[in-house]
Amino acid sequence: MTSAGGGHDQLQHFIASTAWDDAPLWTVLAREADRLVGGPGAFLVIDDTALPKKGTLSVGVARQYCGQLGKKANCQSLVSLTLAQGEVPVPVALRLFLPEEWTGDPARCAQAGVPDTEMQPRSKGEIALAELDRLLAAGVRFGAVLADAGYGASAAFRQALSERGLLWAVGILRVQKVYGAAVQVAVPPQWRGRKRRPVPDEEPREAEKVLAGLSWRRITWRQGTKGALTARFAALRVRVGDGAVWGNNRHLPGEEVWLVGEWRSSGERKYHLSNLGPDTSLRALASTIKARWVCEQAHQQLKGELGLGHFEGRSWTGLHRHALMSCMAFAFLQHLLLAQNRRLKRGKNVASSSGPAAVTQPAGRATREPLSAVRPPRRAYSMSALQAQLPNTP
């Protein structure tokens, strides 16, 4: 008979084994997440999350910014993609970012079991786009992609999203150069034999300065546990200066998008770009931008309640399998929470029905209900509370 400790060791070896392919399980996770929260009203949030880690042998560990600690520290950094609708997130991808000190040391990567295909230097944006393509191939549905300035500051990243025909809203740096939406580009007359290049009829300006003179409107995007969440916003249609270089490191006008400024109650100002349509209201722009917060909730629950940061191995395969199991557990608990909430909702409808005009919800779901109608109450939203209700397994 196998001892409990021996069984645990065997399970650890199985999880970290390269003898089996976990790609089908990631695909199953993506499709189940889509079933739970996917659709035109969903968002795909791209971010990263750090796992503090000591030592030098664990794959990807390096001194880099760690959001959990709020400073640079030894940690592993995972690119995260979360599918969310309403206030219900489901993480669908966690992929390790390898810093230069790892990709520049093939022997160190080999010792940690990094596949040959993963040893090439890749930015977090490139990793995110690869995972995005995988999710699209799996049929995951969402209305827009959201990301912070760590991704949105990259012109290549924004352009890649547009090339895929996706709507997006991303953070940018305050010094991002933009042109007015009516800017014109023309080729000047030839002068002294110099090569003629297209030149815009106005100079690009920094995003911060473009919005400084506008009126800022107070917007409430949702109700929090301590009341309404509000900030002041301003928006203007512009063309981003991310085209070809035309002189002194200035770039030609690119895509026409929204430039959005956010003025928080703390006095801090943030800036965003979005390719949502020209008729999008300021309230809709603000709500879309602020929908990104839900991935932070998912990261906290993955670490605090589902053990994402407790992996004790060192290998590439083991870390990603551990991340996969954490995400699968998260999706399963979300499934239970949503089912529980639907039962409560149906019971409430039945209890409140009176007279022949009353209509109750059918027992089955022939069509998808709006997630706003089934999301768990904010005060009762606790995965740990739900886990305590589950039966213990030997």
Enumerate residues 6+ apart whose C-beta is below 8 A from 340.
376, 386
Q: How far is CA 40 from CA 34, 81, 306, 335, in A?
A: 11, 17, 29, 19
For residue 48, what is the DSSP state? E
Token reading at 338? 């949503």
Residue 5 has a pLDDT of 57
For the chain, 394 residues long, give each residue's pLDDT as a single digit of tens: 445 556 667 777 777 777 788 999 999 999 999 999 999 999 999 999 999 998 888 999 999 988 888 889 999 999 999 999 988 999 999 999 999 999 999 999 999 999 999 999 999 999 999 999 999 999 999 999 999 999 999 999 999 999 999 999 999 999 999 999 999 988 877 666 566 778 898 999 999 999 998 999 999 988 877 888 999 999 999 999 999 888 778 899 999 999 999 999 899 999 999 999 999 999 999 999 999 999 999 999 999 999 999 888 899 999 999 999 999 999 999 999 999 988 888 877 766 654 433 333 333 333 333 333 333 334 334 556 555 555 454 3
* Cα 207 to Cα 179: distance, rounded to the nearest angstrom: 9
* Cα 24 to Cα 137: distance, rounded to the nearest angstrom: 12
DSSP alpha helices (H): ranges in the chain? 4-16, 23-37, 100-103, 106-111, 124-137, 149-152, 155-163, 207-212, 282-290, 294-304, 316-352, 371-374, 383-389
192-245 pLDDT, tens per residue?
A: 656 677 889 899 999 999 999 899 999 998 887 788 899 999 999 999 999 988
All domains of the chain, ordered by start, with CATH? 23-332 (3.90.350)
Residue 347 has a pLDDT of 77
80: helix, strand or coil: strand
Are 36 and 334 within 8 A, CB to CB? Answer: yes
The amino acid occupying position 83 is: L
96-111 pLDDT, tens per residue?
A: 999 999 999 999 999 9
List, in sequence order, every residue forming a beta bridge with 47; answer none if it has no partner: 80
Tell me how long the chain is: 394
Compute φ and ψ for 152, nearest 5 degrees.
Answer: -65, -20
Tokens 């520290």 sit on residue: 73
